[in-house]
A and B are shown apart, each in its own frame.
Chain A
Amino acid sequence: MMDFRILLDNLPYLLWGNYPDGALGGAALTVLLSAGSAILSAVLGLALGILLAEGRGSWHKLLLLALGFLRAIPVLMLIFWTYFLLPIAFGIDVPGVLSVMAALSLIGGAYLAHSVAAGIAGIGEGQWQAGMSLGLSRLAVLRHVILPQALQIMLPSFVNQWVTLIKDSSLAYIVGVGELSFVAAQVNSRLMVYPAEVFLFVGILYFLLCSGLEQCAMWLGRFFQPARIAARRMSVNRQRSPSFSYHHEADPHRPHG
Chain B
Amino acid sequence: MMPAACFCPCLIAAMFAHLFTGPLLAPKYLHWMWQGFLLTLWLTALTVVFSTLLGMLLAAARSSEIGLLRRPAAAITALFRNTPLLVQLLFWYFGVPSLFPDGMMDWLNADHVLSLAGPFAMHWPSFEFLAALCGLVCYSTTYISEEVRSGMRGVAPAQALAGSALGMTRWQVLRYITLPQAVRLSLPSLLGQYMNALKNTSLTMGIGLAELSYTARQVESETFLAFQAFGVATLLYIAAIAVIESAGYVHLRTCRARQGKA
Q: Are B88 and A72 in contact (CB under 8 A)?
A: no
A218-248 residues with Cβ-Cβ distance < 8 A to B are none
- Say what secondary structure dominates the interface of chain A: helix
Q: Are A76 and B84 in contact (CB under 8 A)?
A: no
Q: Does B64 sit at the interface, judged by CB under 8 A?
A: no
What residues of B have a CB within 8 angstroms of the CB of A27 in the complex?
Answer: none
B178-235 residues with Cβ-Cβ distance < 8 A to A are 195, 199-203, 205-206, 213, 216-217, 220, 226-227, 230, 233-234
Q: Does B41 sit at the interface, judged by CB under 8 A?
A: no
Q: Are A181 and B84 in contact (CB under 8 A)?
A: yes
Interface segment among B3-11, B19-27, B47-55, B114-122: the answer is B3-11
The number of residues on chain B lying at the interface, defined by a beta carbon within 8 Å of a beta carbon of chain A, is 48
Q: Does A152 sit at the interface, judged by CB under 8 A?
A: no
Assuming A81-B230, A203-B83, A206-B82, is B8 touching A69 (CB within 8 A)? Answer: yes
Interface segment among B66-74, B90-98, B147-155, B160-168: the answer is B90-98
Q: Does A4 sit at the interface, judged by CB under 8 A?
A: no
What residues of B have a CB within 8 angstroms of the CB of A184 in the complex?
Answer: 87, 90
Q: Does A8 sit at the interface, judged by CB under 8 A?
A: no
Q: Are A210 and B82 in contact (CB under 8 A)?
A: yes
Q: Are B199 and A74 in contact (CB under 8 A)?
A: yes
What residues of B have a CB within 8 angstroms of the CB of A65 in the complex?
Answer: 9
Q: Does B85 sit at the interface, judged by CB under 8 A?
A: yes
Q: Does A7 sit at the interface, judged by CB under 8 A?
A: no
When each residue 27-47 of chain B gets 1 if its CB lies under 8 Å from chain A and 0 otherwise, what string results? Answer: 000000000000000000000
Least Cβ–Cβ distance between B248 and chain A, in angstroms:
13
Assuming A80-B217, A200-B95, A210-B82, is B238 touching A72 (CB within 8 A)? Answer: yes
Q: Are B11 and A77 in contact (CB under 8 A)?
A: no
Q: Does B105 sit at the interface, judged by CB under 8 A?
A: no
Q: How far apart are the CA atoms of A66 and B206 in the complex, in Å?
A: 27
Q: Does B110 sit at the interface, judged by CB under 8 A?
A: no
Q: Are B98 and A207 in contact (CB under 8 A)?
A: no
When each residue 82-95 of chain A gets 1 if its CB lies under 8 Å from chain B and 0 otherwise, what string results? Answer: 00110011000000
Shortest Cβ distance from B96 into A: residue? A196
Q: Does A217 sit at the interface, judged by CB under 8 A?
A: no
Q: How far apart are the CA atoms of A181 and B203 in the complex, in Å?
A: 13
Q: Does B86 sit at the interface, judged by CB under 8 A?
A: yes
Interface segment among A117-125, A134-142, A162-170, A249-257: the answer is A162-170
What residues of A have a CB within 8 angstroms of the CB of B230 in the complex?
Answer: 77, 80-81, 84
Least Cβ–Cβ distance between B207 and chain A, in angstroms:
10
What residues of A have a CB within 8 angstroms of the CB of B7 in the complex?
Answer: 106
What residues of B have a CB within 8 angstroms of the CB of A74 in the complex?
Answer: 199-203, 213, 237
Q: Does B113 sit at the interface, judged by CB under 8 A?
A: no
Q: Are B98 and A63 in contact (CB under 8 A)?
A: no
Q: Are B11 and A81 in contact (CB under 8 A)?
A: yes
Q: Are A72 and B237 in contact (CB under 8 A)?
A: yes
Assuming A73-B199, A174-B205, A207-B83, is B91 touching A194 (CB within 8 A)? Answer: no
10 contacts between A and B (CB under 8 A): A51-B5, A63-B5, A74-B213, A80-B213, A84-B220, A88-B226, A106-B7, A198-B95, A206-B82, A211-B82
